[in-house]
Amino acid sequence: MAKCSVYTFLFILLFTGINSSAQSYQKTDLGVKISIKGRELEMQVYSPSIIRVIKSPARSSLNKESLTVIKKPGKTTFSVQQQGDVLYLKTNQLNVNLNMNSGAIIYYSHSGDQLLKEKEEGVMFTPFNDAGNQTYKVSQAFQLDHDESIYGLGQQQGGKMVQRNLSLNMVQGNTDDYIPFFQSVKGYGIYWDNYSPTQFVDNKETTSFTSEVGESIDYYFMYGGNADGVIACMRDLSGQAPMFPLWTYGFWQSKERYKSQDELVDVIKQYRKLKVPIDGIIQDWQYWGNNYLWNAMEFLNADFPNPQKMVNDVHNLNAHMIISIWNSFGPHTKQYRELDKINALFNFTTWPQSGSEKWPPNRDYPSGVRVYDPYNPEARNIYWNYLSKMHSLGLDGWWMDSSEPDHLDFKPSDLDNKTYLGSFRKVRNAFPLMTVGGVYTHQRRVDSSKRVFILTRSAFAGQQRYGANTWSGDVTASWKALRNQISAGLNFSLTGIPYWNSDIGGFFLSRYPRKLEDPEYRELYVRWLQFGTFCPMMRSHGADAPREIYQFGQKGSKYYDAIEKFIHLRYRLLPYIYSASWEVTANQSSMMRALMMDFAKDKQALDINDQFMFGRSLLVSPVTEAMYIKPGTGGQGSMQEEDFSSVKSKETYLPAGTDWYDFWTGEKLSGGNKVSKQTPLDMIPLYVKAGSIIPVGPEVQFAEEKKWDDLEIRVYPGANGEFVLYEDEKDNYNYEKGVYATITFHWDDKKKTLIIGDRAGAFPGMLASRKFNIVIINTDKGVGENTASESDKVITYTGKKVAFKF
């Protein structure tokens, strides 16, 4: 007995020693598991380029279903080897070293370049009571190179391009969309898979994510080699971006708000009468009536007596209409009653705060509006059941306002609200992902003839898979706000979500009490619209004053003509823009491109926050300061006046490694230099990368007015170039079945030869024969937005390969 007990004791001691040692690990089908310092650590190989890292307190059970990540780990060849206290995990893309004593991980490229290292002792688990559930506050720290540039983290209004030396309290807001993902100029990215309020901190010592709630630390390391590669990894994890209809890339007009259906339809009529192109119009809130009927998803307002006629009228004018819907419901709505029965309404203060529309809100008469629980699948079903009645009217899309959602009079206890997936605190930041996803998923199930289009105020990681274009919220108009939109949109795009826009002109005009009578605001609006011309969505919107083109004068006036010029330019570029959108869907590209995406080796380009590439060819440099105003002549305190007595200029940096062309004049310029460009009111600096091929479409009044049977093909010599022209049926999902066509243009600069390849694919209505008007750009052909008076060569193309030497 005694002898057996001794052996048993020795066996237990030996077994315990082996399992508590930092030198033991378990190889799994997906990677490795190991226990270090009383914590469980697992590395899962999702692909040769993507590693998931999970860390949790010992003996904890983890059964997490990610809200963002939809990819399942594939069968990836990898090796695991231990040498001393270091565990080496290798794929054909990555080398990952794990210190088996400290638990810190270092990531290397396959060639041996160090990419990122976890900070020693950089892990924290702090016990936390989350609305009665015992869990943890979790933190992971990394150590970046001192001069390493990182980007992403969603959309902020601080004007920073490089996201270093800052602290962010990541909780979704009206004008700030937080996404716990950053990527480095070194070609890697980190996605922190947590949805609770999170603190991101970067300083000289550390870069860290700290989240209020988490059963574990859970993050994904991805290596793409460059920004496009990192984005491809992120979309591989969280879903690809579907295509939008062609018409969505035209011009949009809206305001807060059209007060009758006649007013809305009349806006389209006015644009058609003036022969100014337009494709989309939006009906904002209150078409449902009073605030107690908030978001009823019915036209209960007496000024909208025949909604079907309104939609038909818009369609008959060759335009499209989307409508405002919210994520909250008034107490007199049918949705409220159904959602309340299943406990799918939250108890915290949201907008609107009063049953009266008057401002300020009268708190004696609370609206009773409550936010719904989109984490609950039954609640999402109820939401769509009512929205489907709007869908049956033929509306072309949804404007999902307050999708963060609005959370007023915040109290920490508000986050104790129970959702279908636990406390609101636990899943707070994923609210927009869930509510937008609910609408997209339901519509896709019942309608494949019309592509889902959602305009939404907020976003979270993975939202690109749900057919949504995010706008930057209710920003107050100012020159600083305009400039800040550029870096906000670029960093948002660098998280893998490619579709973004802003309210052209800014939402609130509180800084401009004279509204449209203020010459500074008129100039600001024109400059904002010029910026919007080169965003994925071109949409004029705002409160306090209407923004239709005819509010800014008439044809022949400076402001009107400048606005009209850029709307026409947008439509001329539709073949280029639609082809760029195909690159987003098919090849994980981005439409708005920070300069670091295409010029990562040019250190001067890494932190520029007022320039960007639109597609891979156009460098856009918006004007972001007032140029044509002066103090009033009526004495001290008089209002500013316009002053066009002299033409001002803006300086733009042209990245190195390529030559550039002035879009307006055709002048060829060398990269790696700053250049000055005169910027009268109807001009912004716009440059084209040498080697570019840009298709230019006809002048139209709406996107589908004319076929692309006579396109102008502009070739910018100086480097080899390639462009893929994409065409399909414009508004259904047949492209997912291969029903589309592409034509590849290749420019051989040495041979001065343009090769137009065989057309690939087909679709109903495809042009069997067409003309291409080839224009080789030089200083004498600065054709700008207008068709060249004489083409270098007119080609009849029937789908077969042709080559022409110039």
Rounded distance, CA 246 to CA 51, Å?
37
- Cβ neighbours of 541 (radius 10 Å): 23
- At 361 the three-state DSSP class reads coil
280-307 CB burial, b ≥16 within 10 A, e <16: bbbbbbbbbbbbbbbbbbbbebeebeeb
Burial (0-12, 13-18, 19+ Cβ within 10 Å), 318: middle
Q: Are 253 and 281 in contact (CB under 8 A)?
A: yes
DSSP label at 652? E
CA-to-CA dists, residue 718 to 447, 660, 685, 713, angstroms:
47, 9, 20, 16
Q: At what angle do helices 479-493 and 519-532 cross, to 10 degrees?
A: 10
DSSP label at 636? T
Q: Which amino acid is at 113?
A: D
- Structure token digits, residue 753: 């030869």
Q: Which amino acid is at 759?
A: R
Q: How far apart are the first and last CA of the chain?
A: 99
Residues in the chain: 806
CA-to-CA dists, residue 60 to 37, 56, 138, 477, angstroms:
14, 7, 14, 50
Of 127, 122, 95, the C-alpha closest to 111 is 95
Active site residues: 401, 404, 474
Q: How many CA atoms lie within 13 A of 582 on its CB side?
A: 25
Which residues face 218 on adjacent strands?
A: 54
Of 97, 100, 101, the C-alpha closest to 117 is 97
C-alpha of 166 from chain center? 22
Q: At what angle do helices 558-572 and 574-587 cross, to 10 degrees?
A: 50
- Structure token digits, residue 746: 């290749």
Q: Are 184 and 213 in contact (CB under 8 A)?
A: no
Please report where in the chains the tokens 């690159």 appear, as a residue.
583
> Within the chain, what is the greatest distance between any pair of CA atoms?
109
Three-class secondary structure assignment of 50-93: EEEEEEEECCCCCCCCCCCCCCCCCCCCCEEEEECCEEEEECCC
- At 400 the three-state DSSP class reads strand
